[in-house]
C-alpha cells in the first residue's frame, strides 16, 4: 500500500477501540486494494493485520472491477477512500457518488481538472446526499478548506488569499540564505526526501497552481487550470535537461541567478517566498520578496502558511500555519473526514464501511 494509505491503516488500528467505546463508531474496512491486489470481506477485514497480510490472499487488482463490486454490495454509510496520487480512480468518482457512496481523498487531480468536472462531482454528492471530501488537497492536515467554507457560510466575504502551499518550496527558500549555492540547497532538499524524484516537478510551481485553483473554486471563482498565472523560476537549460543529473548540472551553472535574487531581497530587508495569491478573481503563483510586516516572513522549515483577508479579517488576515505535507498529517486529515461523514449522517452510532484503493 502507499505511504498515506498505510499510515491511515495504522491510525485506524490505533483508534478503533476509542472510537467504538467513546464515540460509538464502528469502522468496518470491507475492501482494500493496491495496484497489484484487491480484497473484499463483507464482515470486515482484520485491521490488526498489516497491509501485506491483508492483501496476501487477494485477487488481481482492477479498479473497474473494484468499483463495480463496491456498488453491488450497496452497503449503507459507505465511504470510498482514494489515497493514490494518480488518476486511476478519478474517472470513476462521479459514478461512485451517483451510487450514494461518499468519497474522501487527498488526491488533487479531480478538483484541479476542468471546472465543469469539478461542478459535476459537487453536484453529484449534493443530489445523492453523500459527501465529497478533500480537505487534504490543500495543506495536508491543516484546516484550510473547512475554514474557508466556515467563513463563507457565516456570511464573511473573501477579499484575498495568499499562501505558501508547498512544503518543498517552503523548505528550499527558508533554507536558502546565500551562504550555500541554490543548487546545493535543492540537492539537500532532495536528499532529505522533501522533493519529487525530479525536483523540477516542485520547482515548476504546478502543484502550487493546482492548490490555489482549488481554493479559487471554493471561493466561487470558476477558473480553469490555464487561467492560473505561474512564474517560471528556472532558467531554460534547467527545464530542457534530459535527466535529473543534467538538471543539477544546469542548476549549478545558474546559481548566480538565484544568488542575485537573494542578495536583492536581503539588501531590502526581505526574504524570498514562493507564494500563491488569489485576488479579485485572479490566481497567481510566483517568487516574491516579503518584509518583516508580512506573515510569511516568520516561516521556518517546511511549514505551510495561508492568510485569508476577508471583510471581517480586513486589517489583519486570518492565518493558518503548520506542516503542509507528510504522511502522518495527511492520513490524519483523511481520517478526520471519514469521521465527519458520521456527523453528516446525523447518527449517534453507525457502522461505516470503508473501501480504499492505495498505491503500491
Nearest to 102 by CA among 65, 75, 130, 141: 130
- Catalytic entry in 108, 190, 211, 355: 211
Contact 136, 330 (CB under 8 A): yes
- 3-state class (DSSP) for residue 334: helix
- 3-state class (DSSP) for residue 65: helix
**211 in active site:** yes
Cα separation, 135 vs 102, in Å, equals 14
Write the CB contacts of 327 (distance below 8 Å, at least 6 apart in sequence).
3, 4, 6, 7
Q: How many CB atoms lie within 10 A of CB 219?
A: 18
Contact 240, 265 (CB under 8 A): no
Contact 235, 254 (CB under 8 A): yes
Annotated active-site positions, please?
Answer: 211
Amino acid at each position: 500500500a502507499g505511504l498515506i494509505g498505510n499510515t491511515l491503516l495504522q491510525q485506524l488500528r490505533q483508534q478503533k477501540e476509542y472510537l467504538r467505546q467513546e464515540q460509538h463508531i464502528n469502522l468496518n474496512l470491507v475492501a482494500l486494494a493496491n495496484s497489484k491486489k484487491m480484497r473484499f470481506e463483507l464482515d470486515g477485514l482484520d485491521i490488526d493485520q498489516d497491509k501485506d497480510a491483508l492483501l496476501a490472499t487477494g485477487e488481481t487488482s482492477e479498479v473497474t472491477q473494484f468499483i463495480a463490486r463496491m456498488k453491488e454490495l450497496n452497503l449503507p454509510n459507505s465511504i470510498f477512500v482514494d489515497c493514490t496520487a494518480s488518476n486511476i480512480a478519478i474517472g470513476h468518482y462521479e459514478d461512485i457518488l451517483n451510487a450514494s457512496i461518499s468519497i474522501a481523498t487527498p488526491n488533487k487531480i479531480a478538483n484541479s481538472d476542468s471546472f465543469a468536472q469539478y461542478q459535476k462531482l459537487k453536484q453529484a454528492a449534493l443530489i445523492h446526499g453523500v459527501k465529497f471530501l478533500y480537505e487534504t488537497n490543500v495543506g495536508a492536515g491543516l484546516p484550510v478548506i473547512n475554514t474557508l467554507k466556515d467563513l463563507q457560510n457565516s456570511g464573511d466575504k473573501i477579499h484575498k488569499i495568499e499562501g505558501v502551499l508547498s512544503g518543498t518550496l517552503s523548505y528550499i527558500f527558508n533554507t536558502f540564505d546565500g551562504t550555500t549555492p541554490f543548487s546545493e540547497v535543492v540537492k539537500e532538499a532532495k536528499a532529505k526526501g522533501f522533493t519529487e524524484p525530479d525536483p523540477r516537478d516542485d520547482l515548476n510551481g504546478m502543484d502550487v497552481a493546482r492548490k490555489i485553483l482549488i481554493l479559487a473554486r471554493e471561493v466561487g471563482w470558476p477558473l480553469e487550470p490555464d487561467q492560473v498565472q505561474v512564474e517560471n523560476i528556472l532558467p531554460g537549460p534547467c527545464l530542457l535537461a534530459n535527466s535529473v543529473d543534467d538538471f543539477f548540472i544546469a542548476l549549478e551553472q545558474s546559481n548566480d541567478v538565484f544568488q542575485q535574487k537573494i542578495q536583492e531581497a536581503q539588501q531590502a530587508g526581505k526574504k524570498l517566498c514562493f507564494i500563491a495569491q488569489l485576488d479579485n478573481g485572479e490566481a497567481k503563483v510566483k517568487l516574491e520578496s516579503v518584509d518583516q510586516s508580512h506573515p510569511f516572513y516568520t516561516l521556518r522549515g517546511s511549514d505551510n502558511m495561508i492568510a485569508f483577508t476577508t471583510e471581517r479579517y480586513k486589517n489583519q488576515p486570518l492565518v493558518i500555519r503548520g506542516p503542509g505535507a507528510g504522511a502522518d498529517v495527511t492520513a490524519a486529515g483523511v481520517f478526520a473526514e471519514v469521521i465527519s461523514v458520521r456527523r453528516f449522517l446525523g447518527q449517534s452510532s453507525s457502522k461505516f464501511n470503508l473501501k480504499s484503493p492505495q498505491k503500491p
